[in-house]
Amino acid sequence: MAEFDNPSAPMNETQGDPSARNTPAPPHRRATTAAGVFIVMAGVLAYHNSLGGPFIFDDITTIPENSTIRSLWPIWTALSPPKGGTPVQRRPIVNLSLAVNYAIGGLDVRGYHVFNLAVHILAALTLFGVIRRTLGLSVVPEYIAAASLPLAFVAALIWTVHPLATEAVTYIIQRTELLAGLFYLLTLYCLIRGASASRSVWWNVAAVAACALGMGSKEVVVSAPLVVLVYDRLFLCRAFKEVFHRRWGLYLPLASTWALLVMLLGHGSEAAPGAVHVSVYVSRDVYWTALPTYALMQLAAIVRYLGLCFWPHPLIVDYGHLPTGTVSLNPTHAIIVLFLLAATVRAFTKQPRLAFLSLWFFAILAPSSTIIPVVGQPIAEKRMYLPLAGVVVIVVLGVYALGRRIWDRLGAPDRLRSVLGRIVGLALAGAVALTLGVVTIRRNADYHSVMSIWHDTVEKRPYNYRAWNNRGVAHGQKGNHDKAIRDYTRAIELEPNYVRAYNNRAVAYFYNGNYDKARADAKKAQVLGWKVTSTFLELLRKAPHED
C-alpha cells in the first residue's frame, strides 16, 4: 500500500506506474465546477456583512493618508509605497492594488472590502485546485485518491469560512496576507499543472511571476521556492537529482526572486516615534534587545494559533506591543512546540508526504515567528491565514482515514458503507462549515465601527495600552471627550511613556476647556519626541490660562 498506510515506506519508493507519477486522477468536471461555485457562494455569504466596515488602525496611514495611491500613472508612483514603517512599506504590489481601488472608487470603503474578498475567494479556489490535484496523484493512497474531489472541497470550504481568517480578509490593509497567500498558492499550483503539461514552459513562467508578485506583497513568500522544491521532490519526482534535471529552468528563476526581496528590504526607514501604525522593522540595536523576548513569546503564539484553528475564540485584532521587560519561559508551550518540530522531523523519515503539511505550517510562519521580531505585534492572527490551510488539510485527511477504519470494523457491505459514509461525511463537513461560517459572520460584526472593534479589543486584552488609546480616539471622534480622556489616562497608566496617548489627551483636554492640562500633556509629548502640530501649539498659546 501507499506510504500513508505504511509508516516504514521510504521516501524514494515508486508507487504505481512511474510514467503516471505526475498525472492526477481524471477530474469530474461538473462536480469540480459545482464545488468551486459552492466555495465562492460560501465565501460571499460568510463575509457579506464585512463590506461596510470603516478604515481602522493601519488602514488610515496606508489609504486616506497615502498620497502614492492617488494616481495609477505614472505607475512607478504607485509602486513606490511610503516609508516610515507603514504596512505597505517594501510591498509595492499591495500599494498598487490600493491605487487600483482608489482609481475605481476613491475612498469608498466598500470597494476595498470587495477586493479583499475577491482575493480570498481566488485563493480558496487555488487551494481547492492544489489539494484536488495533489490527492489525485499516483503517489497518494488509492482510497484517498478516489475521494480527492470531496476531500479537496471540504478542506477548501472550511478554510474559506474559518473565522481565523477574518482579520486578514475584513481588516483592509491585511490584504498583504491575502495577496501573499494567493501568490504563494499560485506558485505551487503552476508547478503542479506544469508537471503534467505537454509544454510546461508557460506554467513555469506563471509560477515565477506569481512568486515574484508574492515577494512584492509580503516577506512571508520568502519560503515559497524552497517549499515548492520540497513538494516537487515528495510528490512529483523520485529524487532531488530528478527534480533539477527536469525543472532546472524553473528553480533558477524562482531562486532569483529572492534578489527582488533583498532589493525591497533595502529600502525604507523606521517608524516615527509613537506612530499610530505598527512598525515591522526595527533598528539593529532594538533587534538584538527584542529578539530573546520575542522568541519566547512566539512559543505562546504558536500554541495559541493552533488552538484557534480548533476553537476560534476569542479572536483579537491587536494583542499589544512586545513587553519591554523579560518574559518567563512557559514549559508547557515549549514542550508543545518542540514536540511538533520533532514530530515533523521524524515524519520526514517515515511519512514524508504527510510531513509536508507540517512543513507548510512552520515554513510560512517562520519569518515572523523566529528571526524577525515584530515588536509592534508579536502575536497576530493574520499570520495564520496561509498556515491554517495545512492544519485544515491534516484534520480533514485524518477524519476521513478514521471514518474509513470505523466503517471497515463495522463490516458493512461496500455499497451501504459507501452511501452511508458519504451521507455522514457530508453532514459532518456541512455542520462544521456552517458553524465556522456563523462565527465568521459574528466576528465581522465587530469590525462594523471603529468603536466596536476597539471596545472588543479592550474587553479581551485589558492590558493593551494601544487598544485603550485607540478606543479613546473613537470616543473623541464621537465628541465624547470625557470618555476619551479616561481611556487615554488608562493607556498612560499602562505605559507611562506612550507618547501618542499624551498628545491625544492634550487634544481632548483642549476640547473640554482644560487648557493648562492640555499644555502639560502637549509638553510631555514633545519631551518624548512627538511632533505636536504647529496649529495646535498656536491654539494652546492663545488659549486662556486657568486660575
pLDDT at 26: 57
| Amino acid, res. 12 | N
Going by C-beta distance under 8 Å and a sequence separation of 6 or more, which residues neighbour residue 434? none
pLDDT at 369: 78
| Amino acid, res. 279 | S
Task: Answer yes or no: is 195 within a domain.
Answer: yes
Looking at the fold, whether 396 and 461 belong to one and the same domain comes out as no
Looking at the fold, whether 156 and 241 belong to one and the same domain comes out as yes
Task: Answer yes or no: is 57 within a domain.
Answer: yes
275 has pLDDT over 70: no
- Higher-pLDDT residue of 388, 86: 388
Per 3-state DSSP, what percentage of the chain is helix, strand, and coil (rounded to 5)? Answer: 70, 0, 30
Average pLDDT over residues 280-290: 59
Looking at the fold, whether 176 and 213 belong to one and the same domain comes out as yes
Task: Answer yes or no: is 9 within a domain.
Answer: no
Looking at the fold, whether 369 and 220 belong to one and the same domain comes out as yes
Task: Answer yes or no: is 2 within a domain.
Answer: no
- Tell me 68's DSSP state: G
pLDDT at 419: 73
- Higher-pLDDT residue of 119, 409: 119
pLDDT at 328: 81
Q: Which is nearest to 383 in space by CA: 398, 396, 365?
A: 365
Distance, in Å, from the CA atom of 17 to the CA atom of 371, rounded to the nearest integer, reads: 43
Distance, in Å, from the CA atom of 18 to the CA atom of 523, rounded to the nearest integer, reads: 75
Task: Answer yes or no: is 8 within a domain.
Answer: no
- The confidence band for 22, taking pLDDT boundaries of 50, 70 and 90, is low
Distance, in Å, from the CA atom of 165 to the CA atom of 386, rounded to the nearest integer, reads: 9
Lowest mean pLDDT segment, chosen from 175-184, 283-292, 294-303, 362-371: 283-292
Lowest mean pLDDT segment, chosen from 14-23, 430-439, 517-526: 14-23
- The confidence band for 409, taking pLDDT boundaries of 50, 70 and 90, is confident
Please state whether 340 falls in left (phi above 0), alpha (psi between -120 and 50) or beta: alpha
Looking at the fold, whether 284 and 329 belong to one and the same domain comes out as yes
pLDDT digit string, tens, across residues 109-126: 999 999 999 999 999 999
Going by C-beta distance under 8 Å and a sequence separation of 6 or more, which residues neighbour residue 172? 53, 55, 56, 59, 63, 109, 112, 113, 116
- The confidence band for 24, taking pLDDT boundaries of 50, 70 and 90, is low
pLDDT at 15: 41
pLDDT at 23: 55
271 has pLDDT over 60: no
- Higher-pLDDT residue of 60, 411: 60
- The confidence band for 7, taking pLDDT boundaries of 50, 70 and 90, is very low
Q: How many domains does the chain have?
A: 2
pLDDT at 482: 97
Looking at the fold, whether 343 and 366 belong to one and the same domain comes out as yes
Looking at the fold, whether 95 and 196 belong to one and the same domain comes out as yes
Looking at the fold, whether 437 and 472 belong to one and the same domain comes out as no
Average pLDDT over residues 166-185: 98
Going by C-beta distance under 8 Å and a sequence separation of 6 or more, which residues neighbour residue 515? 509, 540, 543, 544, 545, 546
Task: Answer yes or no: is 6 within a domain.
Answer: no
Task: Answer yes or no: is 478 within a domain.
Answer: yes
Residue identified by cell 505537454 is 198
pLDDT at 338: 95
pLDDT at 288: 63
Query: Is-contact 83 160, C-beta < 8 A?
Result: no
Distance, in Å, from the CA atom of 546 to the CA atom of 524, rounded to the nearest integer, reads: 19
pLDDT at 519: 96
Percent of the chain at pLDDT exceeding 70: 89
Structural domain that includes position 513 = 450-542
Query: Is-contact 384 308, C-beta < 8 A?
Result: yes
- Higher-pLDDT residue of 424, 365: 365
Cell numbers at residue 443, please? 466576528
pLDDT at 29: 87
Q: Is 141 helix (H, G, I), strand (E, B) or coil?
A: coil
72 has pLDDT over 90: yes
Q: Which is nearest to 546 in space by CA: 508, 518, 511, 506?
A: 518
pLDDT digit string, tens, across residues 242-269: 999 999 999 999 999 999 999 998 865 4
- Tell me 81's DSSP state: -
- Higher-pLDDT residue of 417, 152: 152
pLDDT at 287: 63
35 has pLDDT over 70: yes
Looking at the fold, whether 527 and 436 belong to one and the same domain comes out as no
Distance, in Å, from the CA atom of 223 to the CA atom of 52, rounded to the nearest integer, reads: 34
| Amino acid, res. 304 | R
Which of 443, 473, 504 is the endpoint of a domain? 443
Looking at the fold, whether 298 and 166 belong to one and the same domain comes out as yes
223 has pLDDT over 50: yes
- The confidence band for 46, taking pLDDT boundaries of 50, 70 and 90, is very high
**510: CATH:** 1.25.40.10
13 has pLDDT over 60: no
Which of 428, 443, 458 is the endpoint of a domain? 443
Distance, in Å, from the CA atom of 503 to the CA atom of 410, rounded to the nearest integer, reads: 70
Task: Answer yes or no: is 530 within a domain.
Answer: yes
Angle formed at CA 137 by CA 244 and CA 4, multiple of 5 degrees: 100
Which of 411, 443, 475 is the endpoint of a domain? 443
Q: Which residues of 201-223 are buried (b: 16+ CB within 10 A; e: fewer)?
A: eebbebbbbbbbbbbbbbbbbbb
325 has pLDDT over 80: no
Lowest mean pLDDT segment, chosen from 226-235, 342-351, 433-442, 491-500: 342-351
Going by C-beta distance under 8 Å and a sequence separation of 6 or more, which residues neighbour residue 52? 109, 110, 113, 448
Percent of the chain at pLDDT exceeding 90: 78
Looking at the fold, whether 56 and 108 belong to one and the same domain comes out as yes
Distance, in Å, from the CA atom of 296 to the CA atom of 373, rounded to the nearest integer, reads: 11
